[in-house]
Structure 1
Amino acid sequence: MNTDLYTTTLRQLNAKIIPFIIICYFVANLDKTNISIAALQMNADLGLSASMYGLGVGMFYISYIIFEIPSNIIMTKVGARVWIARIMITWGIVSAGMSLVQTPTQLYVMRFLLGMAEAGFTPGIIYYISCWFPKSNRARAMSFFYMGSVMASIIGLPISGTILNMHGIADIAGWRWLFAIEGIPAIVLGILVLWRLPQSPDHAAWLSSEQKGWLKAQLERDNAGVEVGKNHSWLSALKNKTVLLLSLVWFLQAFGSIGITLFLPLIIKSMASEQSNIVISLLSAVPFIAACLFMYLNGRHSDTTNERSWHLGLPLIISGLSLAIAIYSSNLLVAYALLVLTV
């Protein structure tokens, strides 16, 4: 391996691609989860019970599941850059439109449309990363990408709490300001995607011809024996035992992590009802600070050791046990600490 080319090429990829997709994923998760902060006011305004709020949250994932595969099939036809841009622009419009809902039914419809608009974004970015980063660096690249999700909680929750305090300005509820303001960045970023993200290494003006040659050769070696670009029936994936097992693992971890992300502010509010919305949002962000650090260290160590199973399985086991214990803890401080560990 040419060490100089390896170092300089990866440095360029990390500088040109990673920061931008982190910001994109940050905004994606902000628009997906800001309903957890909006709920502190919205539930009362719309007359939502806990189960009705849960249904509103869940409508996003129902449409996301339905349109996930079709969205990614289209992406492979039109290209990741164009499709990611389309996804971001449409979800930004829908997210901002959440500020106009007047009834629970309208909330359900808008959340369904939001999931429909955003479907395919995360797999699209993962696919895009695989087209640029060698296997030996993908776990680190993915850990950086997922930091965008964590940052949406670290930075986004306090920001959302601050916007919520705009309640009453121009006789508009704070939660409406929240949706309207936080939907705009996705639209802007969607437009920038067309300008900032090259379709492939061949289109990257910031890579030298030597760097492009090295990167393409490395990716070809990584994909040796893999039928890249060949048309397969997507139904065949549903018959693949590895795909099904990994899907089950992903489903089970999402079952816990999504619930924590979307209900954490309400859980903490029930534990510290005397605190302001800003304090609640700050306390909700703390668990994700530790998660951000561990995510990077875990991904880096996984690449260094070229080991994946333990780096995936052990954190899941620890988080599951921590969450189970937190549920039955009568000490609020201990329960909060376990939630931090879970995240």
Structure 2
Amino acid sequence: MVDNPTLERATARAMRRLVPFLLLMYVLSFLDRANIGFAKDAFQASAGISNAAYALGAGLFFLTYAAFEIPSNLIMHRVGAKIWMCRIMVTWGLVSAAMMFTQGEYSFYALRLLLGAAEAGFFPGVILYVTYWFPQAKRGQILGMFYFGAPLSFIIGAPLSGYLLELHGFHGLEGWQWMFMIEGLLASAVGVWAFWYLDDKPADAKWMPADERKALVAAIAAEDSVKESHGHAGLKTAFTNPRILHFVLIYFLIQMSVYGVVFYLPTQVAALLGTKVGFKVGLVTAIPWVCAMFATFFIPRLADQMRQHRILAAITLFVSGAGIAVSAGASPAIALVALCFAAAGFIAVQPLFWTFPTQYLGGVAAAAGIALINAMGALGGFFAPNVKNWADASFGAPAGLYVLACTTMIGVVAILLLGGASKSAATKAATARGDR
């Protein structure tokens, strides 16, 4: 039986050590895949890229990202996080910085494809890494804190990107070139730091007292043994279990709502304000992400306390879909408020979602299954801008936002259709740990 006070101390110590660094990594990850939204107008005008080419290039990232997710996560499961996270961050940072050399549609397409391949495995790698370090009962709030990275990347990154865009002509470079270069090289620098800072598993943590380390290792092992006893830890499970396909569908629909808004939010805010994208628009664009950060802090904690992750996830995603729909046809002030609800919903729902597959899968099935869910779900990031562009071109703006709102509501239904197996698995894991 695990000494629970010792386990609590171990979990708190690991949280203080690891979560801020994982958060920093995610901030840079989200910023480097989405900063194209800030550069959209200036970048298109300078590089000669049409709206259709922009939508295609923004989405191409997710094709190679999805293609390399599973092999990347399996490699990390074998070689460890510190080596593989370093490799991922250094290469994606260099490719992101190379976006400054874009000239025309084809170089844009090529660099977005390379960026997807370089970054593949980062996000599912972090989710997998969390399962190595934190018991199931704590993962909702841990993942909630990790998900601060998405809103923080805009709270910090929106004004930063807006400022860098205003460096037009400095040392002969355009503002969007400065933005890609500086933000990309930051990611590479943090990647080098990750090699020296991260430990692969609790057993390697010399910074943790021996009794805490032993308690944490025992708790994680107990949960893994429950998953193995139910046949949810083998590689075959990741590809043949219908429940995994259900998770894939949910995550795909969530990602459509995320990236359908993210890639166009700066220009949408600029249109609401009647100005071009710059520092002012960057500051206003940060407002929805401040709301998202608060929602991501409180909602996963509430779900952990109430043990109602599924219901709260459905409500949260419903609010997001409603926000997207209202923002499409409202006055500027109401539209901005609606975007706050949309951003808060589609960010806060994601840590709730990841508690479902992480308590269901273990071992190599977790490595492959989490990567598969993220890979197939991330294809929503490819379809979202292209579906939005098609709907707007076919029916006139803002038809694309209404389509995205509808797909979000389908995601709500898919979450509600999840069965009760998750609760049963959580109860068995708690029994195996010796909780009372």
Residue type at the aligned position of 2:225: A
1:133 aligned residue: 134
Residue type at the aligned position of 2:260: G
2:83 aligned residue: 82
- Going from structure 1 to structure 2, the CA distance change for 1:17 and 1:111 (only over 3 Å counts) comes to same
- Where 2:11 maps in the other structure, the secondary structure is helix
- Where 2:167 maps in the other structure, the secondary structure is coil
Q: How does 1:192-211 map to 2 (within 5 A)?
A: 192-211=193-212
- Going from structure 1 to structure 2, the CA distance change for 1:268 and 1:223 (only over 3 Å counts) comes to same
The Cα shift of 1:69 comes to 1.4
- Where 1:224 maps in the other structure, the secondary structure is helix
1:158 aligned residue: 159
Contact 2:36-2:263 at 8 Å conserved across structures: yes
- Where 1:30 maps in the other structure, the secondary structure is helix
1:342 aligned residue: 342
- Going from structure 1 to structure 2, the CA distance change for 1:232 and 1:157 (only over 3 Å counts) comes to same
2:183 aligned residue: 182
- Going from structure 1 to structure 2, the CA distance change for 1:240 and 1:276 (only over 3 Å counts) comes to closer
Task: After superposition, give the CA deviation of every residue in 1:59-107 in whole Å (9 maximum; x if it has no partner).
Answer: 1011111111121122222222211111101101101111111121101
1:257 is aligned to 2:258: yes
**In structure 2, what is the Cα distance between the partners aligned to 1:142 and 1:191?**
23
**In structure 1, what is the Cα distance between the partners aligned to 2:283 and 2:7?**
40
The Cα shift of 1:242 comes to 1.2
Q: How does 1:85-164 map to 2 (within 5 A)?
A: 85-164=86-165
**In structure 1, what is the Cα distance between the partners aligned to 2:145 and 2:110?**
33
Gaps of 5+ in 1: none
Q: How does 1:1-343 map to 2 (within 5 A)?
A: 2-227=3-228, 232-233=234-235, 236-274=237-275, 277-329=278-330, 331-343=331-343
Question: How many pairs align?
Answer: 341
Residue type at the aligned position of 2:24: I
The Cα shift of 1:231 comes to 7.8
Gaps of 5+ in 2: 344-436
The Cα shift of 1:232 comes to 3.8
The share of aligned pairs that are identical, in percent, is: 32
- Going from structure 1 to structure 2, the CA distance change for 1:256 and 1:27 (only over 3 Å counts) comes to same
The Cα shift of 1:118 comes to 0.4
Structure 1 segments of 4 or more deviating over 3 A? 1-4, 228-234
Residue type at the aligned position of 1:337: V
Residue type at the aligned position of 2:25: C
- Where 1:238 maps in the other structure, the secondary structure is helix
Residue type at the aligned position of 1:22: L
The Cα shift of 1:271 comes to 2.1
Task: After superposition, give the CA deviation of every residue in 1:38-75 in whole Å (9 maximum; x if it has no partner).
Answer: 11311110122221111110110111111111211222
- Going from structure 1 to structure 2, the CA distance change for 1:275 and 1:186 (only over 3 Å counts) comes to closer
The Cα shift of 1:217 comes to 1.4
Residue type at the aligned position of 2:109: Y
The Cα shift of 1:230 comes to 9.3
Residue type at the aligned position of 1:340: C
The Cα shift of 1:224 comes to 2.9
Task: After superposition, give the CA deviation of every residue in 1:142-162 in whole Å (9 maximum; x if it has no partner).
Answer: 011111121001111111111
The Cα shift of 1:121 comes to 0.5
Residue type at the aligned position of 1:179: F
Contact 2:86-2:192 at 8 Å conserved across structures: yes
Residue type at the aligned position of 2:342: T
